[in-house]
Amino acid sequence: MLIASGMAPSSQVRSPGSLAGPPGPGCGRTLKPMSDGPLLVYGPASPTYDFGPAHPLTPRRFGPGIDLLRSLGAIPGLAPVPAADSELRWVHSARYIDVVRRLSIDPFGPPEAGLGQGGDDPPFPGMHEAAAAVAGGSIAAVDAILAGAVEHAFHPGGGLHHALPARASGFCIYNDPALAIARARQAGRRVLYLDFDVHHGDGVQAIHATDPGVMTVSFHESGRHLFPGTGRVDELGEGGAAGTIVNVPFEPPAGDVAWLAAVRTLVPLLAAAFGPDLIVSQHGADSHAWDPLAHLRVTTTAMAAAARLTDDAAHRHAGGAWLATGGGGYDAYRVVPRSWSLVWLAGAHRDPPPMTPIEWRDRWAGEAARYGRSPLPERYLDAPNAGLEFDADQARADARSLETAALVRILTVPLLLRAAVDAGWWAPGDDSPATTADRAGSVSASGTPTVSGPLDGAHLERLTLAARVIAPADPRAGLRLLVSAARSGALVVGALDGSELVGVAVALPAAAPSRPGGPAAPARGFESTDLAPAGDVDLRPPHRLLAVGVAPAHRGRGVGRSLLATLTELLEGPIVAEAGAAERDAIEPLPYPTRMAVARSLLVGAGFTIGPLSGEIARADPAAIVGRRP
């Protein structure tokens, strides 16, 4: 159920280097001629980010990695240069930048802010300049996207997602994805951040946790088993940003069965609900089955599919605007080069060749053997399970991880979208690409809406749907969903301002088929709730309230109450309703406590009993509510 409002950023897009104050050295750079594919961000500064020969994050990965990219026709088109301190301060404290500069000059000085010899982030000479160049590369790449010079950019040396505002962490000094997102937010862009690294994207999440214009989604090995120990399903965000943090932790040694299923299920739905203007992604290769520092069994085949899904989401929702970064990955010869190539190929809209070039294998075979990483793979895409045995431990881990992904879907995807997919009314891939204008919405009410229902599919087809009434974010997709739902047995009540739907209430009757001619299959929701109304219990299967939404210009005028009152009069028998962090106006969300107070008031006013929530959903989202009528 969706009833919300709040603050929206400006939609103005500035040209590179046009922020307040002088442009940094990473902004406004001239792009070199490129191949027919994503802008490749790489240059002389890239391998200088080097913690030493014994450190797992080795710059040796650039040799075979960039060489394999070149064999595909990828030509570096943007050489990173250091970001200015004024740019780094978008997400990092001035004190921290001073510490990095001091230890960059004196690497064996007193440790501070996560930097020290013997730790994960040992200082090295020139560390500030090297780390600032990584940041500058991602900032310049997003500037090129914002300026319309390119649709896609890929920065394989980027993706340093653990760095915090005042502390280095997990091999990361400055957080380049968070800086790129900050740059896009200054330009008024709403950003979906997708993190496929095996480690939780904690730094990006923490830096943008309070911004409802940024949704962070991380697919990672559970923090119970792996650094940084965060990324639980109950980390959903707070205040107006509640519902914009999404974490999918996997039990080791889960593999493609769970990982790819979760990515395929959640990414399209979350993108459709959020409606981004830009996607920033992190494609760490360390979730791979051969990675020496982690315990999942993901293959390059699954990684390629995730990159293609990201590209599709960018074209479907963000006009193609997509910045991809590299990230972790500690098999520098067998895995990282193929992972990078598969991300670039996804952005180039090309299928991977069946075989890696024999010339490439010959050039790097000796070095790979010296570091215990041979033979080099002959194919871009792995054999099933990367050639490892699919054992009982992996089967159990996959099963537990699939249960977790199902829980995350309940917690973070609006109920109407879950029901529509489960019932076969709608799928994210059914819709044509959306634009920012499609989601803008009207600024004022032109009249007093008339509540009417039920509305059938033929009637709905003759109407338009105002923006920000229901999920998905694109109202054209929302109208198609409503038409299909009405034709499949759902009950739709509308508030009409002329021929425009400015409010909607939708319910799934207990007897409604999941798809035309199919069996009843209500969307999974808060099933663990034990909610018994006072007095005699009606044991009939309940109808399910899927959504109540009103366009911003008509909120606060009693339209939602009228919609719900009309809907409940049309339904005989018990009705179940729920509201949690997923139910919000994606553009201007109210603070979460206010959202829940509005939902509670609306439901109580319509005769619902609000009862206790129990089980895994209550533990993850204790503020969520569920109601039953009568």
Rounded Cα distance between 301 and 381, Å, is 5
Nearest to 278 by CA among 145, 139, 476: 145
pLDDT in tens, 102-111: 999 999 999 9
Q: Which range has the worst mean pLDDT, 51-65, 103-117, 360-374, 435-449? A: 435-449
162 is annotated as an active-site residue: yes
pLDDT of amino acid 17: 29
pLDDT tens by residue, 381-431: 999 999 999 999 999 999 999 999 999 999 999 999 999 999 999 999 776
Mean pLDDT of 446-455: 90
- Check if the beta carbon of residue 609 is closer than 8 Å to that of residue 629: yes
The DSSP letter of residue 285 is: G
Lowest-confidence range among 3-7, 74-78, 334-338, 445-449? 3-7
Q: What is the per-residue pLDDT across 554-572, written as a single tens digit (0 to 9) for each?
A: 999 999 999 999 999 999 9
Average pLDDT over residues 462-489: 97
Query: pTM of the predicted model, to two decimals?
Result: 0.92
Model pLDDT, residue 255: 98
pLDDT for 147 equals 97
Band of the pLDDT at 165, cuts 50, 70, 90?
A: very high
Residue 343 near residue 283 (C-beta atoms within 8 A): yes
The whole-angstrom separation of Cα 430 and Cα 447 is 33
39-410 in CATH: which number?
Answer: 3.40.800.20
By the 8 A CB rule, do 599 and 579 touch?
A: yes
**Secondary structure class of 15 (helix, strand, coil):** coil
Backbone angles phi, psi at 575, to 5 degrees: -130, 135
Give me the CATH code for the 414-629 domain, please. Answer: 3.40.630.30
Catalytic residue among 92, 152, 162, 543: 162
Percentage with pLDDT > 70 across the chain: 88
pLDDT at 541 over 60: yes
- Computed over every residue of the chain, the mean pLDDT equals 90
Mapped onto helix, strand or coil, the DSSP state of residue 560 is helix
How high is the pLDDT of residue 614?
77
* Long-range Cβ contacts of 49-55 (<8 Å, 24+ apart): 49/130, 49/131, 49/133, 49/134, 49/157, 50/124, 50/130, 51/121, 51/122, 51/124, 51/171, 52/122, 52/124, 55/122, 55/171
**Alpha-carbon span 484 to 209, nearest angstrom:** 36
Q: Which residue has the higher pLDDT, 6 or 378?
A: 378
The answer to whether residue 241 scores a pLDDT higher than 80 is yes
Domain spans in the chain, listed from the N-terminal domain onward: 39-410, 414-629
The pLDDT score that the predictor gives to residue 461 is 96
Torsion 114-117-119-124 (CA) sign: positive
Higher pLDDT, 493 or 18: 493
